[in-house]
Amino acid sequence: MMALSRWKVIVVIASIAFGLLFALPNVLPQSARDALPGFMPKKTLNLGLDLQGGSYLLLEVDTSALRKEKAVNLLEDVRKVLRDEKITFSDLAQTREGVSVRITDGGRVADAYNLLTKQLPRPLKNGTGSDLNVNRAGDQRLTLNFTEQGLNEQSASAVDQSVEIIRRRVDELGTKEPAITKQGANRIVVQAPGESDPEKLKDVIGQTAKLTFQMVDTSVSLQDAAAGRLPPGTEILPSTDNYSPAYVVRRRAEVTGEMLTDARQENDPQSGAPVVSFRLNSQGARRFGEVTTKNIEKPFAIVLDGKVISAPRINSPITGGSGQITGNFTVESANNLAILLRAGALPAPLNVEEQRTVGAELGADAVQAGTISVAVGFISILVFMVLIYGFLFGGISVIALLVNGLLIIAAMSATQATLTLPGIAGLILTLAVAVDANVLIYERMRDEFRTGRPLLSSMEAGFSKAMTTIIDANLTTLIAAAIMFFFGAGPVRGFAWTLSIGVFTSVLTAVLVTQLLLAIWYRTARPKTLPIA
């Protein structure tokens, strides 16, 4: 055991070299890091949001809203298909799984069934089955039910799409290095480090930004409509303009946000008020031209997420494919709306389930407190070890501990594991427990030496017998860390990761480095007695 096997020397030297190389960027200023040659690692410790400040948002895609919308669309589709073929029907209604309808003419039930089966179901992306089942339910009734796979596929694609749109929106805000990731089936985590304004971030992310242009129905007064005399195919939408608390508008959207190619915040040349100017694609421009030509002198409503933001009167046909949205805007809100419109609407509403913000200065305070406490903890361990075991054996474990600290920093930098505030505590505890391996070995050596064994054999027995215990003891910590990793969220995971890295580096250094140093001491000093016995 005390013979220096070559592989042990190589492992120790290689890991120290690794440690130095990967820990180095942490002590260099940014300019020096940039000047490093390409093959050198440049990554520093990846500080968590609680240490560098920033915002964390956990969003959930509201898939039930998505289902509802799908059912409404299906209802309209069924109505259109049957009307187009002049099949009379009644009882067209939403059900829990989709839509059901009764065909009035018993002789045309089969026709209707064939038509609906041919036109409405869409094949799934994975190629097995379709998103809709059409069934004959007796009594001339047809039911159209969404399949579970179809709904799941749609939810999944809505989540993916949302991630993409959020990324575009956040990028437009100029947030530095945002991390946007999917979590579970329908959740999205947004992490934005630094001094970003969390409220603005949330405003920009949380809005669906579904824009539609709908005609205002002027045939009925708002009071009559509110009293229940709502013309078919219209709805009452609340408004945010200064003229009317709500408008009666046609349900049909003439132009939608998908037809936009660009949106900018500008100032109105006449009034100087902030407006959002937009440009439509060719399809949208044609539709907009048609509608404005047909409806001169009538108002149309610009609807954002179910609210009318303005309802201007059409003065002349707008055929150029561009226009302006006026409304109760400040420069900032107009700018935000432009960002949202450029990035596109979210396929479903997002709910903010969890939000955490740490001010950058508090993050800096935490880093400072963390650094001081790590230093104090580390030094007290070092002093304690030297006091307990003397300069030689204590010193050896101090060197092992220093190598350990170096390796942890290097491994954390190399893997870009997030160092959180609890992670700092994990680091300290790891160092304290790393000492345990040394203590176990030394105590065992004393025990063996005391029973009258010769020095060399006691030292060897110390290592071999302590080894089982060291591995058992460290495996238990690893189990605890693994559980934290699988069950824990954000900061707890960072803690678990720090702890796990620490377990590996501790065993490596406390056993190998200590062994190497003791072997060197034994060879050079040729001692006859154990200094700690």
Partner 1 sequence: MKFWPLIKIIPMKTNFRFVAFSKYAAGISVALSIAALAAVLIPFEGPCGGLNCGIDFRGGTILEFTTQPAPATATPGQGAANTAPATPGKQIDLGVVRETLSGRGLGEVGVQAYGDGSSAMVRFETPKGKDANAVKSEVRRTLESKMPGIRFTNDATVGAKVSGELFLSGILALLVAIGLMLVYIWFRFELQFGLGAVIGLFHDVFLTFGMIALFDMEFSLTTIAAILTIIGYSMNDTVVVFDRLRENLRKYKRMPLREVIDLSVNETLSRTIITGLTAVLALTGLAVFGGEALFGFSVIMIVGIILGTYSSIYVAAPVILLWGVKRGVEDEPEPIKFGAASRP
Residue 499, C-beta contacts closer than 8 angstroms, at least 6 positions apart = 426, 429, 430, 477, 480, 481, 484
169 counts as binding partner 1 under rule CB under 8 A: no
Question: Please, which of residues 491-510 interact with partner 1 by CB under 8 A?
Answer: 491-492, 495-496, 499
Token reading at 256:
């939608």
Residues shown for the chain: 533
Tally Cβ neighbours within 10 Å of residue 92. Answer: 15
Among 366, 398, 367, 370, residue whose Cα is nearest residue 382:
398
Candidates 384, 415, 416, 454: give the one binding partner 1 (CB under 8 A).
Answer: 384
Type of residue found at 405: G
User: Per CB under 8 A, does 47 bind partner 1?
Assistant: yes
User: If binding is defined by CB under 8 A, does position 53 make contact with partner 1?
Assistant: yes
Beta bridge partners of 145: 98, 133
Q: Which of these segments, 248-256, 317-325, 340-348, 490-498, binds partner 1 (CB under 8 A)?
A: 490-498
Residue reference for tokens 């580390």: 378
**Considering the rule CB under 8 A, would residue 368 count as an interface residue with partner 1?**
yes
Could you tell me which stretch among 35-43, 302-310, 326-334, 373-381 binds partner 1 (CB under 8 A)? 373-381
**12, 58, 341, 400: residue in contact with partner 1 (rule CB under 8 A):** 58
Instruction: Write out the binding residues for partner 1, residues 514-533 only, by CB under 8 A.
Output: 531-533
2 binds partner 1 (CB under 8 A): no
Q: Which is nearer to partner 1, 236 or 360 (CB)?
A: 360
Cα torsion angle, 394, 395, 399, 402, sign? positive
Q: What angle do CA 49, 50, 51 make, to 5 degrees?
A: 90
Choice between 116 and 201, CB closer to partner 1: 201
**Among the listed residues 34, 177, 297, 472, the single contact to partner 1 using CB under 8 A:** 472
Single out the segment in contact with partner 1 by CB under 8 A; choices: 160-168, 192-200, 272-280, 411-419.
192-200
What residues from 328 to 367 belong to the interface with partner 1 (CB under 8 A)? Answer: 351-367
Q: What is the rounded CA–CA span in Å between residue 225 and residue 235?
A: 9
Residue with Cβ nearer partner 1 (22 or 378): 378
Minimum distance from CB of 240 to partner 1 (Å)?
Answer: 16
Interface segment toward partner 1; rule CB under 8 A; list 139-147, 279-287, 333-341, 463-471: 463-471
Please give the C-alpha separations between residue 321 and each of 77, 242, 258, 335, in angstroms, as whole numbers: 28, 27, 14, 21
C-alpha distance from residue 92 to each of 20, 114, 115, 234, 402 (Å): 73, 17, 16, 18, 76
In angstroms, what is the minimal distance from the CB of 492 to partner 1? 5
